[in-house]
Amino acid sequence: MGPEGTGRTVLDLRDAVKTYTTGSGLTVRALVGVDLTVREGAYLAITGPSGSGKSTLMHVLGCLDALTTGSYRLDGVEVGAMDEYGLAAARNRLIGFVFQQFHLLPGLSAVRNVELPLAYAGVGRADRRARAVAALERVGLGDRTDHRPGELSGGQQQRVAVARALVTEPALLLADEPTGNLDSASTEDVLDLFDELHAAGRTIVVITHEQDVAARAQDRLHLRDGRFTPPPVIAGATGVAR
């Protein structure tokens, strides 16, 4: 089990509904009255089959898509009340994203890739370089700062992506199929890193279809047809059922 943290609520989703209208006019309910509370220090994995609503939920949690109805509070702030500037700031400062594709710029060194969120936030050059180097050291790549992505293994590239996600000290680390492009050894490497980050008090939500990846999390929830089965309850460090 991981640290209990302060009990501060990092994200709180209440009666979340997301619907889409197809080109033929059919209404599709991707999320159906979802409730979810995640508290500081949690390590939660969300699983589910294709079409279960996992991708939609990830986009909502990442402030990449808006709910149709319901409430989403991120670090105490109602996301539905944010304008485009506020949403962009939330994505840059409050959430650290880790994706299946590493999304590293091939022409930039590891440290310059990690610096990017700080550059977007207007952080000065010397400060962002120091913070980027520290983030790379935190993920065990202090000796690879000047390497470009093509000079790194898949596992190392994902570690650079994790360092980039952490460099702004976000409230939430949100990972979407983070091991989907990795071999078994690199997968283990990245999951070990997540274990270390969780032990240090980081709040992590991983969305995955891989049961062995989900098994490493402190808590697990299963999404099916836009609902959690069984529904989560408010309990423990994460506020979800174990």
- Asked whether residue 109 carries a pLDDT value surpassing 50, the answer given is yes
- Which pLDDT tens digit goes with each residue over 195-234? 999 999 999 999 999 999 999 999 999 999 999 987 765 4
What is residue 142's predicted lDDT score, i.e. its pLDDT?
95
Q: 37 falls in which pLDDT band (50, 70, 90)?
A: very high
Q: Which amino acid is at 110?
A: A
Higher-pLDDT residue of 182, 5: 182
What is residue 24's predicted lDDT score, i.e. its pLDDT?
85
CB atoms closer than 10 angstroms to residue 189: 19
- Extract the tokens encoding 117: 């969120």
- Which pLDDT tens digit goes with each residue over 88-102? 999 999 999 999 899
- Which pLDDT tens digit goes with each residue over 112-129? 999 999 998 899 999 999
pTM for this entry:
0.89
- Asked whether residue 6 carries a pLDDT value surpassing 80, the answer given is no
Q: How far apart are CA 150 and CA 159, in angstroms?
A: 14
- Asked whether residue 26 carries a pLDDT value surpassing 80, the answer given is yes
- Asked whether residue 242 carries a pLDDT value surpassing 90, the answer given is no
Nearest to 98 by CA among 216, 238, 197, 212: 197
What is residue 25's predicted lDDT score, i.e. its pLDDT?
82
The mean pLDDT value for 9-14 works out to 94
What is residue 240's predicted lDDT score, i.e. its pLDDT?
52
By DSSP bridging, strand 69-74 and strand 43-47 are unpaired
Q: 164 falls in which pLDDT band (50, 70, 90)?
A: very high
What is residue 28's predicted lDDT score, i.e. its pLDDT?
87
